Amino acid sequence: MTDHDKSLWQDGLPITKLSYEKIYEIVRRIPKGKVATYGQIAMLAGNERGARVVGNALHHNPDGEETPCYRVVNGQGYPSKAFVFGGIQVQVERLKKDGVEFVNGHVDMKRYLWNPYE
């Protein structure tokens, strides 16, 4: 975070230039047994409107072990259809292995959404 980043504002919202590296850094903080949303990652990275950029970053994720991108789902708790490491089924299995439960094909967000401030 540079001083220049902090000075950027738009429509009353503080925005930070997103970068794939910054996004990976946040994703690596998601604890086992929890999930985060794209918008949430974007917000933590400093630009709550950058959800789409988060998706792009994870799509280019170079390492599925170091960066647990399978712990990121959309705002409704559904896993991404274009998960690169084996597809949506693999993503679901890895989450279940983490202890995350699914209801009607989506994550029970009330119970498993990561709270980065706790």
Please identify which residue in 70, 92, 100, 114 interacts with DNA, judged by CB under 7 A: 70
Please identify which residue in 24, 83, 112, 114 interacts with DNA, judged by CB under 7 A: 83
Give the integer Cα–Cα distance in Å for 31 and 34.
6
* Binding of DNA by 1 (CB under 7 A): no
Phi, psi of 36, rounded to the nearest 5 degrees? -130, 160
Q: With contact defined as beta carbons under 8 Å apart, do 101 and 113 qualify? A: no
The yes-or-no answer on residue 69 being catalytic is yes
Which residues make beta-bridge pairs with 113?
35
User: In terms of CB distance, is 31 or 55 closer to DNA?
Assistant: 55
* Binding of DNA by 112 (CB under 7 A): no
Window contacting DNA (CB under 7 A); options: 78-86, 94-102, 108-116: 78-86
Can you say how many angstroms the Cα of residue 16 is from the centroid of all Cα atoms in its chain? Answer: 17
How close are the terminal C-alpha atoms of the chain, in Å? 22
Q: Residue count at the site for DNA (CB under 7 A)?
A: 36
Active site residues: 69
